[in-house]
Amino acid sequence: MTRVTFYQNRNGRITGFEARDHSGYAEAGEDIVCAAVSALVIHTVNALDRFTGDQVKESSDAENAVICVRVKGDPSDGAELLLRALASTLSDMQEEESYRDFIDVNFVEV
């Protein structure tokens, strides 16, 4: 199961996330859940870099299927919007009966 944890500050603003593990929906190369999560995460990381002035720390471990993204300091409105859009889309996937056993989205205050 792919687990995505979103980090929120005291004001409820999303400051980053960690995504880990393969979904197990299908064999490698045919797993539409993993492909969707990967595309959404890469899109978000690229958009944070290209369209905001925020400093973003990103680390990944492809072998263990982990990516961690954190905005340094308080996120700009643009960065928070991108992160909230990612959280919303992944939460929607989690609500779909076909995918709910393969993705888990959580929010944690940091």
Q: Give pLDDT tens digits for 53-75.
A: 999 999 999 888 999 999 999 99
Cα separations in angstroms, 86 against 27, 43, 97: 24, 9, 19
Domain 2-109 listed as CATH 3.30.70.1490 = yes
pLDDT at 48: 98
Give me the residue spans of the domains in the chain.
2-109
pLDDT at 21: 95
Helix axes 77-95, 32-51, angle to 10 degrees: 170
Q: pLDDT below 70 — which residues of the chain? A: none
